[in-house]
Amino acid sequence: MSDASILSDTDRTTGRDALRKNIQAALALSGAIRSTLGPRGLDKLLIDDTGRTLTTNDGVTVLETAKVEHPVAKMLINASSVQDKIARDGTTTTVLISAEMLNNAWHLVTQGVHPSMIARGYRMAEEFCRTELPTFTIDAAKEDLLVATKTALAGKSHEAMRAHLARISVEAAEIIIDTRSGVTIADPTRVKVLSQSGGVVTDSQLVTGLVLAKKRILEAMPKKIGAGKVLLINGGIERRSMASEMKLKVTSPGILQSFRDKEIEMLMQQVKHLQSLGVTLLACKEGIDDDIRSALNEAGIQAFRRVAREDLDLLARGCGATLLYDVKGATASDLGVFIESRNEMWNGVAHWIVDTEEGGATFIARGSTTDVLGEVERCFADALGVACQLLEEPLLLAGGGATQVALARKLRRYAETIPGREQLAVEAFADALEIIPRVLAENAGLDPINTLLEVVASQSNANDDVSHHFGLDVNTRSPANMIENGVLEPLRITRQAISGATEAAVSILRIDDVLWAKADATAPDLPDMD
C-alpha cells in the first residue's frame, strides 16, 4: 500500500539526501560560532524581535539566544547546553567537533561507507579517547587553579576583567567547598550574584555570606546581631483573609473591634512562640503584620519580609534550617544557625548580609552599562564553574589544541589495528579533533594548515613525556609548551566535549528519514556543502 495519501501533508526527505541536509544544518550552526573560539575570538551582536541587543563571546549564549528552527541544529544546541551545565566551558568546542565529525562522515558516505559503520567507528574512537585522556593529565597545584580559571575566560573582554573575575571565582569556590565522606563537593549554586549598575568591572567584589537588597522591617531593630538561631518561613505572619465570601451582621460597635483584637492576639501568640524557641532572626517570603513589628523587636528578633524563595533556599542550605509554611508548626529542630546578621548601606541602598556556618558567598557584579553587567555575570558563572570542578577533580590538560592534536596522533596509530571499515571512521574522528587548533589559528590570523603541521611536528620531535604539552600559543603565534606557558584546561571540559560531540554526531548519522509537517513547520533554506 502506498504511503502517498497518508503523508500528503508532509514533506519527506530520505536516505543520503536527508543526511546531506542534516549535515548542512550542523555546518551552518558551527559556522555561526566558529569565530568566537580562543583568545583571539570575536564577539557576536544579537538583536531580538523588540530591538534589544546582546553582545557576547560565549558560544552557548549565542546558540541559545538565536532563533533556530532546524531540529538537527537544535540537537547540537542541546549538546552545547549540556556541556555548559556540566563543565561551564567548552561549548563552542563541542559544536565545532561534532560538526566536523559529520562533515568527515559525509565524505566517507560518498565513498560507500555505511553511516552505521561510521557511527560504530566513532564510538570506538570515543572510548579510546576516554581511556587515553587520563594519561595526558597533570595534577593541579593550588597556583594552577587560578591559571586554569583564567584560561576559561580567554577571549572574553579585556585582560584586567579576566584576571579580576578569575581571582574572585577561585576565592568563591574555596569558600563553598565541602568535604563529606571523603568526597569533595563545590556547588556553584551556593554563590549568589547581585548586580549593581555603575562603576567599572574591576569594582566587582566577593562578600562572604549571603547578601540581599533588603532592610529590616523596623528601624528600631539592631543593625547587627551576633550568632543565633534563624527561622525561615515560606509564607508570612499576617491577618488571614476570609476563605469565602460571607456577610457579617454587626449589632454593636464592640463586635468589630473584638475581631481585630482576636487577630492581633493570634499574631502575638506566634511572636511568643518564636521567643520560646530562641529565634533571633526571622525571614519570611510574604509580609509581616505592622501590629507585631514592635513586639518582634522587644523579643529581640531581627526580621525581614518579602524575601525571594530562591534566597530562602540559599539561607536554608547555609544555615541548616528547614523552610516552613507557618510559624505555629515550628519546632527547635526546624531552626538554623548563623554567625552574624548585619545591615549596611551601599550607594544609598540597604543590604542585608548573613554569615553562615555552612559557608556561602555573594558576588557583587558591577558594570557601567546593562550589556557589560550581563557579560560580567556570564563570565563569572563560567569561571566559577571551572574553579569548582577543579576543586572536585584537580586534573589539568594542556590547552591551545595540544590535547586534541595528541589524541589525533594516537587515534591514527590505533586505527591501524582495526581491520574493518571502522578504521576509516576512527581516522575521520582524529581529523575532526584537529578542527580546534585549526580554528584557533584561523581566528589568530594564521594559516590553519601550516599551523597544524607545525604543532604536529613539535609534538613528534619532543620527548614522549611532554609531547602532548605542545599546542598553539596565539600570543607568540607559534607552537609552545602550553603547560609552561600557563594555558591549562580541566580534564572534565575536554572529556565532556568529546563525549557530547560524539553523541550528537552519532545521533544525526542514524537519521535517514526526515518528515516535515507542512502545517506546522517548513524546512529552512540551508547553505550548499563544499
pLDDT of residue 1: 43
Give the type of residue at 103. N
* pTM, entire model: 0.85
Contact of 40 with 474, CB cutoff 8 Å: yes
pLDDT of residue 115: 95
Q: What is the pLDDT along the chain (530 residues), one digit of tens a residue?
A: 445 555 566 777 888 888 999 999 999 999 999 999 999 999 998 887 788 888 888 888 899 888 888 889 999 999 999 998 888 899 999 999 999 999 999 999 999 999 999 999 999 999 999 999 999 999 998 889 999 999 999 888 788 889 999 999 999 999 888 887 778 888 888 899 998 888 888 899 998 889 998 999 999 999 999 999 999 999 989 876 655 566 666 666 666 667 677 788 888 999 999 999 999 999 999 999 888 999 999 999 999 999 999 999 989 988 989 999 889 889 999 999 999 999 998 878 899 999 987 778 899 999 888 888 888 999 999 999 999 999 999 999 999 999 999 999 999 999 999 999 999 999 999 999 999 999 999 999 999 999 999 999 999 999 989 999 999 999 999 999 999 999 999 999 999 999 999 999 999 999 988 877 765 544 555 555 55
CA 444 to each of CA 2, 280, 441, 475, 523: distance values in angstroms, whole numbers, following the listed order: 56, 59, 5, 9, 35
Q: Which segments of 177-301 does DSSP mark as H helices, in order?
A: 253-277, 293-298
d(CA 144, CA 25): 39
d(CA 368, CA 135): 45
Q: What are phi and psi of 373, to 5 degrees?
A: -60, -40
d(CA 100, CA 442): 15
CATH fit for domain 211-355, picks 3.50.50.60, 3.40.50.1820, 3.50.7.10, 3.40.228.10: 3.50.7.10
> Could you tell me the three cell numbers for 114?
555505511
* Domains of the chain by residue range: 11-138+397-517, 156-206+362-392, 211-355
Give the type of residue at 329. G
d(CA 434, CA 99): 12
Active site (catalytic) residues: 58, 91-92, 382
pLDDT of residue 49: 78
Q: Which segments of 59-156 does DSSP mark as H helices, in order?
A: 59-65, 71-87, 91-110, 115-132, 142-152
**Nearest partner of 356 among 529, 174, 230, 187, judged by Cα:** 230
pLDDT of residue 356: 86
Instruction: Return the exposure string of 32-44: e unless at least 16 CB atoms fall within 10 Å of the residue's CB, then b.
Output: bbbbbbbbbbebb
CA 517 to each of CA 51, 234, 522: distance values in angstroms, whole numbers, following the listed order: 31, 46, 7
Q: Show contacts of 516-523: CB within 8 Å, 24+ apart.
A: 516/10, 516/11, 516/12, 516/13, 517/9, 517/10, 518/9, 518/10, 518/11, 519/9, 521/69, 522/11, 523/11, 523/13, 523/21, 523/70
CATH fit for domain 156-206+362-392, picks 1.10.1200.10, 2.40.10.10, 3.30.260.10, 3.20.20.80: 3.30.260.10
CA 520 to each of CA 67, 73, 513, 517, 523: distance values in angstroms, whole numbers, following the listed order: 16, 18, 18, 5, 10
CATH fit for domain 11-138+397-517, picks 1.10.560.10, 2.40.50.100, 1.10.10.1100, 1.10.3190.10: 1.10.560.10
User: E strands, 299-376, where?
Assistant: 302-304, 323-324, 336-338, 340-346, 349-355, 361-367
pLDDT of residue 142: 85
pLDDT of residue 527: 56
d(CA 213, CA 111): 64
